[in-house]
Amino acid sequence: MKIAPDDLFLIIDVQNDFCPGGALAVADGDAVVPVVNRLAERFDHVVLTQDWHPAGHSSFATSHPGAAPFSEIAMPYGPQTLWPDHCIQGTAGAAFHPDLATERAELVIRKGFRTAIDSYSAFFENDRKTPTGLAGYLRERGFRRVVMAGLATDYCVQYSALDARRLGFETIVVLSGCRAIDLGGSLAAATTTMREAGVELVKDTV
């Protein structure tokens, strides 16, 4: 894949709580860091997303007495997986992985900061209506293609990729720079859904 000067590299949620030892660790999650860093060096424009929950967030299993982590409940905006408490604002778990190169990021989009609604996508809260502002940022700056990697393939990367396509951006996911949670076959389902939506899935950019 040839990288153009006006392509944007979107790094999704490479944070301590999603890496080994974190509160919601993705298996082998820290393995994306060197891949993402290498990719970021090749782009003129980089944006980061950061999961940023208040304590007691409604997506936490601990906010629903008797509910188990990874179970599912109905919320006003649709089905919601209940997660272990993670990426709480200002904590070490919410910080970017210490080896992630963040210096060249032109923007950091924080998501999930509204207590009553979760946010997987870099573009919208989970109601699929409340915007983060990223789409407007990309359009005002003239970006047409978004290349993304990060954590996790089957949740925040997938939702971000689907929304990018829905909003009219050419979208590429670099799988070597992603890892998945894979709850009940969610990785295979995500891969199929992304392909059907017109997301290009590549192993790497070289």
Active site (catalytic) residues: 13, 111, 156
Distances (CA, A) of 201 to 27, 68, 118, 167, 173: 20, 33, 26, 18, 5
- In terms of Cα–Cα distance, which of 125, 130, 197 is closest to 156? 125
Give me the residue label for tokens 């709580």. Answer: 17
Write the single-letter amino acid at 22: G
Distances (CA, A) of 89 to 133, 158, 185: 20, 23, 30
8 Å CB contact between 150 and 11: yes
